[in-house]
Amino acid sequence: MKKFCLFIWVVFCLNFEHLVAAQYTVSTVTELRSAITAAVAGDVILLNGGTYTFTTRLEIKNKSGNATQKITLMANPSSASRPRFDFSAMPENSSNIGVLLDNAHYWHIKGIDVFKAGDNGMQIKTSNNNIIEFCTFSECYDTGLQIDNGSSSNLILNCDSYFNADSGIENADGFACKMNAGTGNIFRGCRAWQNLDDGWDGYLRGTDNITTTYENCWAFDNGKLKSGAISGGDGNGFKTGGSDLKDLKHHAIYKNCIAARNVKKGFDHNSNRGEVSLYNCSATENNTNMGFGSTNPLAKLVIKNTLTLGTTGTVTATVLDVTHCSWNSNPSVTVSNTDFASVNIAELKNPRKVDGSLPDIDFLKLVSGSDLIDKGTSVGLPFLGSAPDLGAFEYVSSLPLNLLKFEGQRTPYGVKLSWLTTNEVNTQDFEVYKRSNTDFIKIHTTQAKNTSGTHYYEFIDDNPIDGYSYYQLKQNDKDGRFSFSDMVLISSTKKSSGLSVYPNPAKDILKIKGALNDAQSVKIIFENLINQKVLEQVLNFNEGENTINIQHLPSSIYLIYLIKNNQKLFIQKFLKIN
């Protein structure tokens, strides 16, 4: 962990204007703790791959970023393996939480495997507006990840929690937004399986009238141990709420969620007195698929476009708004295995994609001819056809067209994208999309040739995003069907003519050579792999060779830019080595 040396270098050696976003690259628990202590808003801590063995919990306490500058703690993208936080040296004890966020706001934690904590794998306590992304929590002695103590507006994104089990056979869930949690927390793209108690637990104590949202989340095989044996825990997929006196309201919204083969209930109200909504959800092979009983009933239950494969269960509440579901569709529908491309629950455990998103699976995806297609009602979620389908997945028919390849490369004129097709039958056009941070935007449309044979297309994006960006191709059929290609990652930065950076890799000295017309001073910027500034300096640029001391930069991959007359000129990506 090298920020102290880096700071001294900046002030006394290179006379940088300011340090924008320090980057720490750490490989040990000691370096990690030091980096967390020193980090300020906008800083990035990169964790090299490997096992980090803890004997005491890791605290991120009284340390916050802000709305525009989060503090990032993430796996180093250049490492071959993920960082694994191993807490197995700590025995089962309520004080032996693995990672504790306490009064820590605006953190982004990504790509970490948390293993065998003596209590929660991660606990978010009195902490708001954090993102926990692409992490796993396994074999902990309490819930994998728990949000409580007033924590609100946190996003748990593309995380997995599994094999968590406590000796008391009571508390170990996959995820929990429970006890005295705050409102506005979101689980998106998460999976929970084979946790001793529940996949998700929303039990309240000490707070009331909060709302939690679940989007594209899968809960399966909960109530079982790692061995597959029945655990003796509750065994629900999604437990919406509950409280000691059975009077507290935990409002819950479920969108495109799946509950499968949980030991007891797929969706369970557990005497929750709040309002619960299920939109386009699926449940199958649970002991009871729907567990919304009349004892201590919900204030309101809304279920739309939802299917159960097997017996539905109990669907009651003080106010009930349940329509367009498999068990009460008008006209009626029949649900059987033949409606789906697969009923193999094991697919839910398939590996995630490289960006952390859920895998593409066939489980409970509708097949052509299913009477569940177009039987829903609009609830604000995207759909194809004349109306939404029933269940967690919209039916997408395969297009006649075959996309043989979609690729891109950087050129002096921009980013050249090309694709090759065969069997264009009823094909309308191709749309090119570009993403820099989180949002895809359409940048081009090409009409299809729509004839037999093999066809080549290309498009040059002459206004590429500085840094790294993703491109994706959408193929549209004339009948409204469409499909997306795999994404292509491009270093879409533009080179300035006549400039070069060497040596590469570099250890102590970096040289920039070339001519910039009428240049007296330019700004040089170093960016890390997530496009955050690491260093910024005003440089008196010479026409010949310009030397920069980089010996105190952490070893990593960087992008270098020069700024002249407010124009950002890309020079080169380079590797800093020790």
Whether residue 23 lies inside any domain: the answer is no
Whether residue 132 lies inside any domain: the answer is no
Show the CA angle centred on residue 423, arms to residues 419 and 425, nearest 5°.
110
Q: Which residues contact 471 (CB under 8 A, 6 or more apart)?
A: 408, 415, 417, 432, 433, 434, 435, 461, 487, 488, 490
Whether residue 35 lies inside any domain: the answer is no
Whether residue 126 lies inside any domain: the answer is no
How far apart CA 457 and CA 538 sit, in angstroms, is 43
* pTM of the entire predicted model: 0.75
389 with 476, same domain: the answer is no
Q: What is the pLDDT of residues 541-573, one digit of tens each?
A: 776 778 888 877 877 777 787 777 776 665 667
How many domains are contained in the chain? 3
229 with 344, same domain: the answer is yes
Per-residue exposure over 485-499, b if at least 16 CB sit within 10 Å of its own CB, e if not? bebbebebbbebeeb
Which of residues 372, 397, 422 is at a domain's end? 397
Whether residue 42 lies inside any domain: the answer is no
Show the CA angle centred on residue 207, arms to residues 204 and 212, nearest 5°.
65
CATH of the domain at 328: 2.160.20.10
207 with 243, same domain: the answer is yes
**Residue 493: pLDDT above 60?**
no
Q: Please report the pLDDT score of residue 439 as a whole number.
A: 66
CATH of the domain at 512: 2.60.40.3080
205 with 319, same domain: the answer is yes
Q: What is the pLDDT of residues 292-329, one digit of tens each?
A: 999 999 999 999 999 999 999 999 999 999 999 999 99
**Model confidence band, residue 415 (pLDDT cutoffs 50, 70, 90):** confident
Q: Name 536's bridge partners.
A: 18, 525
Q: Please report the pLDDT score of residue 435 as a whole number.
A: 76
How far apart CA 291 and CA 264 sit, in angstroms, is 9
451 with 470, same domain: the answer is yes
358 with 412, same domain: the answer is no
- Could you tell me if 375 and 365 are in contact, meaning their C-beta atoms sit under 8 angstroms apart? no
314 with 281, same domain: the answer is yes
Q: Is the dihedral of CA 493, 495, 496, 499 positive or negative?
A: positive
DSSP structural state of residue 243 = B
Q: Which domain holds residue 291?
A: 143-397
**Residue 382: pLDDT above 80?**
yes
Q: Please report the pLDDT score of residue 176 as a whole number.
A: 98
486 with 511, same domain: the answer is no
Q: Mean of the pLDDT values across residues 327-341?
A: 96
Which of residues 369, 397, 425 is at a domain's end? 397
351 with 408, same domain: the answer is no
Which of residues 444, 459, 492 is at a domain's end? 492
Q: Please report the pLDDT score of residue 12 as a whole number.
A: 25
Question: In this predicted structure, which of 144-158, 191-205, 349-363, 401-415 has the lowest mean pLDDT?
Answer: 401-415
Whether residue 509 lies inside any domain: the answer is yes
How far apart CA 432 and CA 449 sit, in angstroms, is 16
How far apart CA 390 and CA 278 sit, in angstroms, is 12
Strand-by-strand arrangement of the 509-513 sheet? 500-502, 509-513, 545-549
CATH of the domain at 458: 2.60.40.10
The number of helices, as runs of H, and strands, as runs of E, in the chain is: 2, 47
Whether residue 66 lies inside any domain: the answer is no
The mean predicted confidence, pLDDT, of the chain is 88
How far apart CA 368 and CA 238 sit, in angstroms, is 30
177 with 257, same domain: the answer is yes
How far apart CA 39 and CA 64 sit, in angstroms, is 9
Q: Which amino acid is at 197?
A: D
| Residue 202: other Cβ atoms inside 10 A | 31
**Residue 49: pLDDT above 90?**
yes
Q: Please report the pLDDT score of residue 265 as a whole number.
A: 98
**Residue 340: pLDDT above 50?**
yes
Which of 201, 353, 176, 347 lies closest to 272 in space, CA to CA?
A: 201
Whether residue 277 lies inside any domain: the answer is yes
227 with 321, same domain: the answer is yes
305 with 350, same domain: the answer is yes
DSSP structural state of residue 199 = S
Q: Please report the pLDDT score of residue 2 as a whole number.
A: 36
User: Known catalytic residues?
Assistant: 239
